[in-house]
Amino acid sequence: MEIKREIITTGDGSKTIHMPDWNENYHSSHGALQEANHVFLRNGLDAFRDRNVVHILEVGFGTGLNAVLTLQETEKSGLQVVYNGLEAFPVSAEELAALDYGSLLDTDVMRSLYVQLHAADWDVLQAITPRFSLHKIHRKLEEMTWEPAQFDLIYFDAFGPRTQADMWQLPHFQRLFAALKPGGALVTYCAQGQVKRDLKAAGFTIEPLPGPPGKREMTRAWKAAIQAQ
């Protein structure tokens, strides 16, 4: 069954994709831009500024908003990032044009780089800038096999457990835990009790954090720097 999708404007003026049949959005209705910055940049990437290179996995590449904000941060800070974006159902060119995320970016150069992100071939690692490499992966989460200790940081941005419960299961969290380097973290907008219990069962240490506007709490889950033997 084809799911109806429409573009809506969120509370901070940025846009997102809404699926009325599921009553689900790609981003918070209170503000797509401020949610991405709060959850994934301020409470994710900022914790890894002491690394020479940050290896990131995003589960739910979607509109590319988290990726381009991360890229923009590398241009400002000089941080080097290798970004892996997992997406089973890529957003169409027409939807990307309607979202107009280029207008949210700081410079014409960044707007051009955002176009490059979406023009990049799938399943190939490509250098977008000298400091940002992108590997878009066109597969489902359950199809993936990860190398141990591959990533420093995971942006977990799948649709919520209410509409996509299969994405939030313990076996996925166990595999993602194994794919994280010691001292790595998973960040997500979701603070559901069962999700936090499953993350803890997978081995993570849970750190509840204040959520973005409109949401009381989000979750950061750490893999201990020294693993118990």
| Cα 57 to Cα 134: distance, rounded to the nearest angstrom | 10
Domains observed in the chain: 31-94+106-222 (3.40.50.150)
Closest CA to 66 of 95, 96, 33: 33
Distance set, CA 52 to CA 57, 111, 192 (Å): 17, 26, 33
Looking at the predicted structure, is the pLDDT value of residue 227 above 70?
Answer: no
8 A C-beta contact, residue 219 and residue 210: no
Residue 2: the pLDDT is 59
Residue 106: the pLDDT is 83
Average pLDDT of the segment spanning 109-138: 95
H helix or E strand, kind and range, residue 16 = strand 15-19
Looking at the predicted structure, is the pLDDT value of residue 37 above 70?
Answer: yes
Separate counts of helices (H) and strands (E) for the chain: 6, 11
8 A C-beta contact, residue 135 and residue 82: yes
This prediction's pTM:
0.93
Cross-strand partners of 219: 188, 208
Residue 108: the pLDDT is 92
Residue 130: the pLDDT is 96
Average pLDDT of the segment spanning 39-59: 96
Residue 22: the pLDDT is 77
- Pick from 26-35, 143-152, 182-191, 195-204: least confident: 26-35
H helix or E strand, kind and range, residue 155 = strand 151-156
